[in-house]
Chains A and B, each alone.
Chain A
Amino acid sequence: MPPQHWDTPLDYEVYGALGHVIGHGSVVVHDDSVDMAQMARFALEFCALESCGKCTPCRIGSVRGVEIIDRILAGRDRASQVIALRDLAETMQHGSLCAMGGMTPYPVLSALDHYPEDFGVDHERDRTAAAR
């Protein structure tokens, strides 16, 4: 969640209206030296660790998600891998059997959307490049 939303009341519907999601009650505290890309990667890695393995979007998707973020951070095929990450996020959100796979993409996407610099991604630059 970007700084401009930090005064939002902690309410499911209010967050939902902003496109954010409140999870199941855990609170992660960090200071401003945090690397949001690493947090996004950790969300996917945690999903892979916890995954029961029954449904494919989560079982395979969580592992692939970590691999994609690693490629993005290494600067390999960054533009297309960002697209892949968004596709994967959508697949996991809508295709997962349960909310674990279904909700994991939210922190990943909000990190990518609001803290792209930690990913080495410049949305403006990428949009312009895509338009060309």
Chain B
Amino acid sequence: MNATELQRPASARALGDDTDYGTPARAGAAVSLTIDDREVTAAAGTSVMRAAIEAGIEVPKLCATDTLEAFGSCRVCLVEIDGRKGYPASCTTPVEAGMVVRTRSPMLEKLRRNVVELYLSDHPQEDTPGTNALRSLAQSLGAGAERYAGGATHLAEAKDESNPYFAYDPARCIVCYRCVRACEDIQGTYALTVSGRGFASRIAAGQDQSFMASECVSCGACVAACPTGSLLEKSVLARGRPEAATVTTCAYCGVGCSFRVETKGEGAALEVVRMVPHKAGHANEGHACVKGRFAWSYATHADRVTRPMIRERIADPWRETGWDEAIAFAAARLRAIQAEHGRDSIGGITSSRCTNEETYLVQKLVRAAFGNNNVDTCARVCHSPTGYGLKQTLGESAGTQEFRSVDKADVIMVIGANPTEGHPVFASRLKRRLRQGAKLIVVDPRRIDLVDSPHVKADFHLQLKPGANVAVINALAHVVVTEGLLDADFVARRCEQHTFVHWRDFVALPENSPEAMEPHSGVPAELVRGAARLFATAGNAAIYYGLGVTEHTQGSTMVMGIANLAMATGNVGREGVGVNPLRGQNNVQGSCDMGSFPHELPGYRHVSHAAVRGQFESAWGVPLAAEPGLRIPNMFEAALDGSFRGLYCQGEDLVQSDPNTQHVAAALSAMDCVIVQDIFLNETARYAHVFLPGASFLEKDGTFTNAERRISRVRKVIEPLSGYADWEVTQLLANALGYPMRYAHPGEIMAEIAALTPTFAGVSYAKLDRLGSIQWPCNGAAPDGTPTVHFDSVAHGMGKFFITADVPSDEKSTRRHPLLLTTGRVLTQYNFGAQTRRTENVRWHDEDRLEIHPVDAEARGIRDGDWAGIESRAGDTVLRATVTDRVAPGVVYTTFHFPESGANVITTDSSDWATNCPEYKVTAVQVTKVTQPSEWQQRYRRFAAEQERLFRSRRQSDAAVAR
């Protein structure tokens, strides 16, 4: 065999391959050796164990697993190697050319049996529903523990059942350290260790605390790693061993983890036992977080509304009805409104949680059946500036890299994002790279966990004031340009020269220097200079950013500023660099791709583009409006104005997520027909006339697209509780409106999308099944998709620089509102909590709290746990205070996972100049100590209670849930 390079990327796992190869894959020159008289080849650096298993030779193991580096503690994988003394462990021995290995011999069999016998002497006899590798190994070796009967054991130790999702049974623990290693190397939380020594060694969480009391973030990596079921899902203990599995994609965040939904039973008796992260998943590679892994019971929660409901006025009780009547009622109302108020008086909102196919159908419904372009999506309120800003500068409305790219970054800048809370599986990957030595710059008004946590410490934390993003990015660019840190070669080759020159001269102005910006930004100039120098000189520099960048009046400006900086330093267009928007929702990227914006058809083509519009017109069989329609904020304005009166809202809770709640509520109240399609009765439904029950991700087929532009399959596991998947409901409505839709399966919808959208041209369900996932663009030039958008292709076009003058927000601290409020998320709750509030995750976070600095708290007589009233020019609410120095003086912070917190009552309608993305991240507020809930909260409680009563007293339909 010739010594060719065996290039095996880190996740070269074939789909459907569940083999555990024992130790991680390596890439390197081919090495030939002999194992059990067979010629075997493996990449240099591969363990003998892995080389053997890859060649089909079984090697017993307990402490080895291929998601973790070799450990060498169980001593069950011993082999004989010619010329070497003793019996080396095959997991910790790398292959070498010409090695002669034996995995079988009488001595090896004896040693293995005796080691397993020792394990068994301290292990329970009874089985649990979990799989037990020790027991299987004992059976195959014929080992029993009778010789050691009566000795000391750990069998009487108490279980730790503190975590709601998994239990730890110390009696079953074999101290293989897999859980500890998983918590360290895979998750990066370092919550677990082994306390005690020798025989007394026991797994301990935190400082010998219960799991719940420790730093454990309940990601479940330890449970997945445990070979004996000592750590085991409570759902498996309760329901028994799963029998079948379906691979699908998580419906929480934009990482888009791939999961095996493990089930038991069939048909009506089918139940989900657990969700196990899928090792072959390209986005997550076998890891997950507490939400996707454990918080899935919301899908079958008692609050699920499974029958359609209608009512004449929102003050009326709901009336359950059959699908036909509900759809007919909705269609008739919508047409009546159009007849009276014009074609543009109704519109729709697509969901960033529903599938690509479903989103595509909603915008098609609006464009083809309603006849206008009044369609929008929740990306409006989160990453719309990304779409605008990156399209202007880099030419594409999406990030340029895949998550794996961070493995090659040398310096990472995180701006306005909190990945350990919002994109935990990506954060684990990021932290691993940081532990390997990459540098970190964090730009955030709060001291987020990433700034200082086990084995991770930011080299620079630019703790800026909310609203000062553009000042800081300009100051960083100023340093790059004036200190000779430009990548002149890249700029000359790949960027438009005239835009570059204008930008360079602008950014070099003295008013953009760190010193000049310091009073406005609150960041010391020498920190800015240090960070800029590090970014420009450390090698591969990557920027990751989130809503702390986009949800500002200057969101689009800041995105362009980020792209400018990346281009100026040559950090675009290869692995390890790039501009990476951390898209939040499971399908917000997809929703944008599918043409959910009022001005864009699928594939981000403007509706005014005659040729493109013509293609859609002939495919859809109707003329299409050429003028952009209403954005969500415009819809509200128009509703209050009386010209917009009907709305079909799928999978989106406007009342809770949009800013200025009172404004939104008033707008909805002014409409004649609000149709809400959702899995729960959400806040928006309280203002609805038609409620159409939705389907969770477990109940439908389709695709989601994550933050890496990665399209993955969603596969149906249970029949829709309401009888229909969301796409089927949209189809019913379209047909009732007289626009025929006859899709039999979402695959047909994707085929239509592929036929009409060049970046999706090569996407099909067959290809998705074959490849597992596809990153768009996927077309003739890239038939298997595009992991990294390479900037070097001429077809791509040149990068453009944009002047990013700092136009500070109107939300400034004043005497009346001296503090600045910013918002964010926690790990265990997801956005406005519709799903996670209905799971055990409330054990970690059961209310939104206001973080306030000790200096500001003391000045107001507020102590930790006191009720604090927060007032802005838009409204006021009350939250309990947490006094902490995570925020700087002058800044307060809250989360918004609970509707009664009313976080959006206080946010204003200030928004991004280009996209109307609301400025959630900066609101001038005053905080005072109070003793009772705010007036809004009291009104909210009364209104919510009344709507609850109207729901509970609904006239229930006897009609079966018929299709």
Contacts and interface: CB of A to CB of B under 8 A. Distances in A.
A97 B73 contact: yes
Contacts of A88: 114, 118
Interface residues of A, number: 29
Nearest to A88: B114
Contacts of B111: 90-91, 94-95
Contacts of B115: 56-57, 91, 95
Given A94-B86, A95-B87, A48 B199 contact: yes
A63 B114 contact: no
The interface size bin for chain B is 20 to 34
Contacts of B198: 48-53, 58-59, 62-63
B114 A59 contact: no
Contacts of A51: 197-199
B73 A60 contact: no
Contacts of A97: 72-73, 75, 89
B75 A96 contact: yes
Given A53-B175, A94-B87, A95-B111, A64 B151 contact: yes
B73 A63 contact: no
Contacts of B794: none
B962 interface: no
A53 B201 contact: yes
Q: Is the interface of A mostly helix, strand, loop or mixed?
A: helix
Contact of A60 (B87, B110, B118): B118
Contacts of B72: 55, 97
A118 interface: no
A52 B198 CA distance: 5
A55 B73 contact: yes
Given A63-B152, A97-B75, A56 B197 contact: no
B137 to A, nearest CB: 12
B118 A56 contact: yes
A97 to B, nearest CB: 6
A84 B121 CA distance: 13
Contact of A55 (B75, B150, B151, B199): B75
A62 B72 CA distance: 18
A54 interface: yes
A85 to B, nearest CB: 10
Interface in A55-79: 55-64, 67
B125 to A, nearest CB: 17
Contacts of B201: 53, 59
B74 interface: yes
Contacts of B194: 53
Contacts, number: 90
A92 to B, nearest CB: 9
B269 interface: no
Given A59-B175, A60-B119, A88-B114, A53 B197 contact: yes
Interface string A14-55: 000000000000000000000000000000000011111111
A58 B115 CA distance: 10
Contacts of A59: 175, 198-199, 201
A20 B74 CA distance: 28
Given A56-B73, A57-B75, A91-B118, A63 B147 contact: no
Interface in A75-132: 80-81, 84, 87-88, 90-91, 94-97
| Centre residue among A48, A52, A55, A81 by max chain B CB count within 10 A | A55
Given A63-B152, A67-B148, A95-B111, A52 B197 contact: yes
A52 B195 CA distance: 11
Interface string B177-192: 1000000000000000
B78 interface: yes
B376 interface: no
Contact of A84 (B75, B147, B152, B199): B147
**Residue from the set B89, B110, B119, B151 with the largest chain A CB neighbour count within 10 Å:** B151
Interface in B28-74: 72-74
Candidate in A64, A84, A96 with the most chain B CB atoms within 10 angstroms: A64
B196 interface: yes
Given A88-B114, A95-B75, A67 B152 contact: yes
B859 interface: no
Nearest to B194: A53
Contact of B118 (A49, A57, A81, A90): A57
A95 B199 contact: no
Contacts of B593: none
B73 A61 contact: no
Contacts of B174: 56
A56 B75 contact: yes
Residue of A63, A80, A97 with most partner-chain B CB within 10 A: A63
B122 interface: yes
Contacts of A54: 73, 177
Contact of B121 (A55, A62, A64, A81): A64
B239 to A, nearest CB: 32
Contact of A95 (B114, B148, B150, B196): B114
A87 B146 CA distance: 14
Nearest to A93: B86
Nearest to B86: A94
20 contacts: A48-B199, A52-B198, A54-B73, A54-B177, A55-B72, A55-B73, A56-B75, A59-B201, A60-B118, A60-B121, A61-B118, A62-B199, A64-B118, A80-B147, A81-B147, A90-B110, A90-B111, A91-B118, A97-B73, A97-B75
8 A-B pairs with least C-beta separation: A51-B198, A53-B201, A91-B114, A95-B75, A60-B118, A67-B151, A53-B198, A63-B199
Given A51-B197, A94-B87, 6 more contacts: A48-B198, A48-B199, A54-B73, A55-B72, A88-B118, A94-B111
